Amino acid sequence: MLGIIIDSISTFMYSKLLVILLIGAGIYFTIRTKLPQMRLFKDACKAVVEKPEDENGVSSFQALMVSTASRVGTGNIIGVSSAICIGGFGSVFWMWIIAIIGSASALIESTLAQIYKRKGKDGECYGGPAYYIEAALHCRPLAIIFCISMIATYAFGFNMLASYNLQSTFSGFSFYDVKWTPWIIGGILAVITGWCLLGGGSRIIKVTSTLVPAMGVAYILISVIVMIINRAYLPVVFSKIISEAFDFKAIFGAFAGSAMMQGIRRGLYSNEAGIGSAPNASASAQVSHPIKQGLVQMLSVFIDTLLLCTATAMMCLSSGIAPAQELQGAPWVQAALHESLGNFGPLFITVAMVLFAFTTLLGNCFYCDNLLNYIHKGQPSKTFMKGFRIVSALVVFIGAGMEVSMLWNISDVLMGVMALINIPVILILSNTALKALEDYEKQKKNGENPVFKTRNIGLEYETDYWS
């Protein structure tokens, strides 16, 4: 009964509210910022490799890896597989559209996180939606509601889902026992995750900064190899992606299960643009101008969807194994790679899933540190944080043995609450980010390395970093 109620709420929120909010905001920001996805792509690439003035500070690259660790996860494999198996080839096209449109929202929200970030007692930068909600709108209760909803989403909903998806990739192996294996794998994962979490934010940053680039490059290389092997199928694949994307009869006849809806849902779940999660990592970076980190986060959306989600889609669709609802999730991906790469295929996807899920767990919990700092108006006690991280590890263990459809629906609903708060807020505050963009481009035009000061945009709010 609970599953039916949650499913109904989830479908309603996405089909009636979230799709309108997220796509509408993305289109609005794309127009207002004059298509930065293309116009400022080169600047985004340069900003990634900039070093902070303080050699001990968090760099743009490190902040990018933390946010990408959370974005790039099991949704890039399991989510893409499920979307195509339910919605068909056309789902891929709508994932692309969501990535392009959503990247403008990522630019705005991460820029705001940088402008309104605060300096903690430990000297680190803290920021995100909660901080700019209170600073600009003077509404701490709303900011706390956002924090609580995000902690519930990431430390619980998404982490349980990642844990389940990870253990499910072992289902094709002979040793897998549906009764015991999920709990054994969940227990091992919980212990390793707990070890990383108890090391604090610095350990999380070090682990993700090493694993995320390595696994991303390896995954894309394997996808290219598979596409080369199956190159004869690619023209048909692209043709079907476009033709099914605009099958309006199918779209309006069964909206919830259509290519459009599945592509939008999984695209939003995967890249998280506009949801309010990535700004928590963006604020930690030390940059000379807020727009630089906004551009870096725009790039993170491209990495997530246009590269990694597309890599999964192309590996599977070019294999010749037809998508079907009974194969959705790991089984279709494993069958497709087995067809192209033999026994190496399922083994590779299992390793990829383990790494993707693990870095997702760490990235999600890094966000929670920032949120708890805000709620407590400073760093919580070591005892409290130790207890929270132990609970987070236990959640990973529990998620491994739960029912998958309920986990998807819980995650969708919780993420929806975040979006319903964050999108209206960044729309209200967008003029501040747009003025910052004008200031950035003006300095670039004059041949300067952009350096931000609040007086340049007439911002009266007293900031910790930009006054």
358 pLDDT more than 70:
yes
Mean pLDDT of the chain: 78
Does 136 have pLDDT greater than 80?
no
Query: H or E stretch including 90?
Result: none
The span from the CA of 195 to the CA of 28, in Å, is 43
Cβ burial of 426 (10 Å; 0-12, 13-18, 19+) is buried
Tokens for 437? 């963009």
**Per-residue pLDDT for 5 more than 50?**
no
Q: How confident is the model at residue 291, as a pLDDT?
A: 92
Closest CA to 204 of 397, 399, 354, 361: 361
Look up tokens 């289902």; give the residue: 171
pLDDT recorded at residue 73: 63
pLDDT at 71: 59
pLDDT at 79: 74
The pLDDT assigned to 351 comes to 82
pLDDT confidence band for 253 (50 / 70 / 90): very low
**Which pLDDT value is given to residue 255?**
45
Residue predicted with more confidence, 13 or 205: 205
Confidence bin at 310 (pLDDT 50/70/90): confident
Quick one: pLDDT at residue 112? 92
| Stretch 424-433: mean pLDDT | 90
Q: What is the pLDDT of residue 108?
A: 93
Contacting residues for 35 by C-beta, under 8 A, at least 6 apart: none
Per-residue pLDDT at 442: 92
User: Mean of the pLDDT values across residues 194-219?
Assistant: 67
Which of 336 and 52 is assigned the larger pLDDT?
A: 336
| Rounded Cα distance, 250 and 90, in Å | 11
Please check the confidence at residue 439 and state whether its pLDDT lies above 90.
yes
- Tokens coding 379: 């760093």
Candidate from 18-32, 119-133, 187-201, 431-445 with smallest mean pLDDT: 187-201
Does pLDDT of 2 surpass 50?
Answer: no
DSSP of 188-227: HHHHHHHHHHHTHHHHHHHHHHHHHHHHHHHHHHHHHHHH
- Using pLDDT thresholds of 50, 70 and 90, give the confidence band for residue 161: confident
Task: Check residue 32 and give its pLDDT.
Answer: 92
Q: For a pLDDT cut of 90, what percent of the chain falls above it?
A: 7
Task: For residue 230, give the 3-state DSSP assignment.
Answer: coil
Lowest-confidence segment of 4-8, 256-260, 313-317, 324-328 by average pLDDT: 4-8
408, pLDDT greater than 50: yes
Question: Higher pLDDT residue, 447 or 267?
Answer: 447
Interatomic CA distance for residues 144 and 129, integer angstroms: 10
Quote the tokens at residue 197. Answer: 């979490």
Give the residue-averaged pLDDT of 5-28: 66
- The sign one gets for the Cα dihedral 312, 318, 319, 322 is positive
Q: What is the reported pLDDT for 30?
A: 92
pLDDT at position 254 is 42
Q: Quickly state the pLDDT bin for 436 (edges 50, 70, 90).
A: very high
Residue 49 pLDDT > 70: yes
Most confident of 67-81, 227-241, 339-353: 227-241
- Is pLDDT of 166 > 80? no
Residue 448 pLDDT > 80: yes
State the average pLDDT over residues 70-74. 60
**Lowest-pLDDT range of 196-200, 276-280, 346-350:** 196-200
Output 441 or 418, whichever has higher pLDDT: 441
